[in-house]
Structure 1
């Protein structure tokens, strides 16, 4: 078989295994939201302490993104993912046996650190294999597990919850993780060199010898790039969007059960399964929009955050209707997923030439989950104190300030270019 055919087969295999790995990682983290209602009853805790468990998870997950980015550069990224997979499986298995609030909090916190070792190395592996022209397709496919994971968890694990109880909601993902561990080790090559192929993506190709003078600008490029106005506005937006995304993902099953009332488990399960479909549609629409704008990520971000602000206020207006609530939640979540996909996947790939794509995705994922850490506990405390209506207002406000931040940044850049000459 010619090398070009072998390369095409290897690329498809790498992408399939990476998508599967990221989907498994979402099974290992989305299960908490399904079991949260039962856990609050068993452990006799309110929504505030339950939200604190999620917050502790996201703090370690956010910090671990930086660790994952660093390890992906210094170590074999394939081994980094394997380490995270095994550790997260052990944490989920242990949670299935626990009966203490603090044991749950400690284990879920460790689970956050383990799962942080997935995304940066996976992105590093894809930059080892794919050309810049393939980045959009790859990034959209790699982002699908962020919604498919919830669909599998809220659909499949929801049935497990009803049939076997909350402990099996943690046992089942742990078993899946242990089985997939061997698939990951045997089914993936981290780079073309590991597969004995003489191939290197064009963006990574470089002369055999580099001039010392050319190295100096690259060493400071990470800090300089992050301290520009566009990147600072992106950083603010990823924090607010991360807060909205993960607080909806955490509380949606509990919220819908409480609003639907007793005897409506079938309807709640249907609505819970529908919400991730909106998220998947949002990801696909984001890919279409970026292509339509010829790769214009800034324009796509403005459109998505603006639409998200509109959906946020529609959520506030239609909260009296369960169907309207589900549709608005789904639309808002889909738009938020589109924004976070651009900021955590497409944007970092701009820096593949300098070998810093994993570092940038680590930074933006860190910021996203700083927002998530704040959003989970804040939504829990607000709903405990003032009800879900105030939580809807919080989500609408976060969507609005995200859109305004991007608009101000883009307007200032245009003003600087048009009138200040830079």
Structure 2
């Protein structure tokens, strides 16, 4: 029975990872379509930034709501519902012809995309105990980073084939549809649904002992968790500064003249994927499981790398490639440490609510950053300035997270 549970434990982690591996095909595709949208609709980059802002705000609001719902409803069905409606939103955008229509549809897409992350985290927490949860969340976060790699690769192929920006909202999401079907038939929300009885861990039904208001109060009254949530806001702003605006920087005015530069951008999500799974081990081995110190070190390194990218000539492909990879590694890697702070600081009963609140902060700040990045480009006329902005944001994140103090993880606390 123990071997069977262990096998199912890994199966649930991998099928959740597999499903989330394709979620960004319906979200991170927008950066590659942005230049085509701006040209066809005759709008500024600041207006494009507002579209991205709207999606991220929809995602942030969704996180606040759906994280708590994941503690009460079926995480599996929330993931399937969110992914399915996101596919419909992407398809509708591919046929849209006005700024307002794209703005509304992309906002709705953000909300429904938000139904997946906290739900997946809840499912994983139900199957993995506190001793191994850091490792499990590291793999889960790696799936998110790898999703960016897949999305960037698909987008690059479509762009080089001179496909319309509309195809970026049609073809990549077909993979998400297939992944949702696999997840539907394999995943179980918690061990009890497959007949297991887990000692020392409360199932998802325990969360129903508290109403939604009490759950949110416990999260928002936890000082350390609020500081960590503020810090992840700046980390996410820097992350989306790279994901959304760096493709625009490397595409230039004519992508045909910069095809080599375009492929360099793929190294950012590759670095992110490897950073996500590595930082769980980095925090354990180098920082004795002190998540805040690990995050601080990663963000300081990210700030330095962003400045170097600004200084290095864009035609130096070897050095730029190395910097692209390391920037992704250190900007996104620490996020794996952020997610483990939810069960560590709040206890296992509030994992979904905690992840939702933390991710809300992440995406509100990322949303605020988007029009700021766009305005910076419109005002200066130089896309390279985004790296200076990223450097500043990373430094702020490092300063804030240094105030977080963590003790032994809380398990099923009634505080």
TM-score by length of 1: 0.86
Which of residues 374, 384, 391 is equivalent to 1:380? 374
Distance 1:357 1:266 in 2: 43
Which of residues 231, 235, 254 is equivalent to 2:229? 235
Q: Is the 1:203–1:352 Cα contact (8 Å) retained in structure 2? A: no
2:262 is the alignment partner of 1:269 = yes
Q: Is the 1:204–1:352 Cα contact (8 Å) retained in structure 2? A: no
In the other structure, the counterpart of 1:148 is: 146
In the other structure, the counterpart of 1:416 is: none
In the other structure, the counterpart of 1:73 is: 71
How many residue pairs are counted as aligned between the two chains?
Answer: 398
Q: Which moved more, 1:48-57 or 1:391-400?
A: 391-400
Question: Matched residue of 1:10: which SS?
Answer: helix
Q: Is the 1:58–1:373 Cα contact (8 Å) retained in structure 2? A: yes
Distance 2:65 2:219 in 1: 20
- Which segments of 5 or more consecutive residues in structure 1 lack a partner in the other structure? 210-214, 414-422
1:23 and 1:313, CA in 2 relative to 1: closer, same or farther beyond 3 A?
A: same
Residue deviations 1:105-150, cap 9 Å, x none?
1111110001000011111111111121221221111011222112
In the other structure, the counterpart of 1:331 is: 326
Distance 2:29 2:316 in 1: 23
Distance 2:98 2:184 in 1: 35
Offset at 1:398? 1.1
| Higher Rg | 1
- Which segments of 5 or more consecutive residues in structure 2 lack a partner in the other structure? 407-415
Q: Which moved more, 1:149-158 or 1:88-97?
A: 149-158
Q: Which moved more, 1:157-166 or 1:269-278?
A: 157-166
1:186 and 1:331, CA in 2 relative to 1: closer, same or farther beyond 3 A?
A: same
In the other structure, the counterpart of 1:281 is: 274
In the other structure, the counterpart of 1:419 is: none
Q: Is the 1:309–1:403 Cα contact (8 Å) retained in structure 2? A: no
1:237 and 1:352, CA in 2 relative to 1: closer, same or farther beyond 3 A?
A: closer
1:127 and 1:300, CA in 2 relative to 1: closer, same or farther beyond 3 A?
A: same
In the other structure, the counterpart of 1:55 is: 53
1:174 and 1:201, CA in 2 relative to 1: closer, same or farther beyond 3 A?
A: farther
Question: Matched residue of 1:144: which SS?
Answer: helix
Residue deviations 1:354-412, cap 9 Å, x none?
500111111110000011101111101111111224322221111122222234x26x9
Distance 1:36 1:55 in 2: 13
In the other structure, the counterpart of 2:335 is: 340
Distance 2:260 2:312 in 1: 18
Structure showing the higher helix proportion among its residues: 1
Q: Is the 2:228–2:401 Cα contact (8 Å) retained in structure 1? A: yes
2:191 is the alignment partner of 1:192 = yes
Distance 2:144 2:358 in 1: 16
In the other structure, the counterpart of 2:177 is: 178
Residue deviations 1:329-378, cap 9 Å, x none?
442332121222211x2111225745001111111100000111011111
Distance 1:84 1:220 in 2: 26
Offset at 1:316? 3.5
Which of residues 375, 379, 391 is equivalent to 2:386? 391
Q: Is the 1:26–1:149 Cα contact (8 Å) retained in structure 2? A: yes
Question: Matched residue of 1:395: which SS?
Answer: helix
Offset at 1:167? 2.0
In the other structure, the counterpart of 1:94 is: 92
1:179 and 1:232, CA in 2 relative to 1: closer, same or farther beyond 3 A?
A: closer
Question: Matched residue of 2:265: which SS?
Answer: helix
Distance 2:262 2:314 in 1: 19
Distance 2:302 2:157 in 1: 31
TM-score by length of 2: 0.88
Distance 1:143 1:123 in 2: 10
Which of residues 18, 25, 32 is equivalent to 1:20? 18
1:253 and 1:170, CA in 2 relative to 1: closer, same or farther beyond 3 A?
A: same
Distance 1:74 1:231 in 2: 21
Q: Is the 2:46–2:374 Cα contact (8 Å) retained in structure 1? A: yes
Distance 2:235 2:93 in 1: 29
Distance 1:299 1:365 in 2: 20
Q: Is the 2:138–2:276 Cα contact (8 Å) retained in structure 1? A: yes
Residue deviations 1:205-225, cap 9 Å, x none?
89xx9xxxxx99xx9686466
